[in-house]
Chains A and B, each alone.
Chain A
């Protein structure tokens, strides 16, 4: 069964520090890799996504790094803030070709003030 391996499971970072979350995927039907941010009791919100015609995408304090040959991608949160404390999910397309995604197991980030 197709899987997306996400690590670490939890992460504690000091305010102003860098948070790094990694994901590894298997074969996909197309190349589009999003990250979602979820607060308790809320639905996931699309945070940032990358198409692998580039190896990196940056939006504000959030950066995705992508390594197609290794089938890995990561989320970097620069200058982490207490408001960034949430659960982060990576996702990778399935092999079915119907815009379905497999989600990682999630990373619970806590940023200390």
Chain B
């Protein structure tokens, strides 16, 4: 199957700082990339959809000014958590779409202290 990478795999930051997470599709060009958030023992919650060269579409209740998404190319999307607070601590997972199929990255564990 297709390979999607994320970097970093885990990050600890102080409250009020910003953190950038990168998502790359390594062996295919992704028409669309998605960002999810997952709390312990819960399902995947879609945060936003991003298409290369256009503004991201955010799901209801997700603050677009807090979770900045940039989709610079067909293989790279970034999520920046701005002014992070402890309640932003979570597991963030990206996915890249190849037609109907969606392939997930390994996830990034964010801890805000």
Contacts and interface: CB of A to CB of B under 8 A. Distances in A.
A25 interface: no
A45 B104 CA distance: 6
B14 to A, nearest CB: 23
B29 interface: no
A99 B97 contact: yes
Interface residues of A, number: 23
Contact of A44 (B6, B32, B44): B44
A99 B44 contact: no
Interface stretch (A13-21, A62-70, A74-82, A101-109): A101-109
Interface size band for B: 20 to 34
A98 to B, nearest CB: 6
Contacts of A106: 41-43
Contacts of B31: 99
A30 B1 CA distance: 22
Interface in B10-63: 31-32, 34, 41-44, 46, 49, 57
Contacts of A99: 31-32, 97, 99-100, 102
Given A44-B104, A51-B100, A108-B41, 15 more contacts: A32-B100, A36-B104, A41-B107, A43-B95, A43-B106, A44-B93, A46-B101, A91-B102, A98-B57, A99-B32, A99-B100, A100-B34, A100-B49, A104-B43, A106-B42
Interface of A: 30, 32, 34, 36, 41-46, 49, 51, 89, 91, 98-101, 103-106, 108
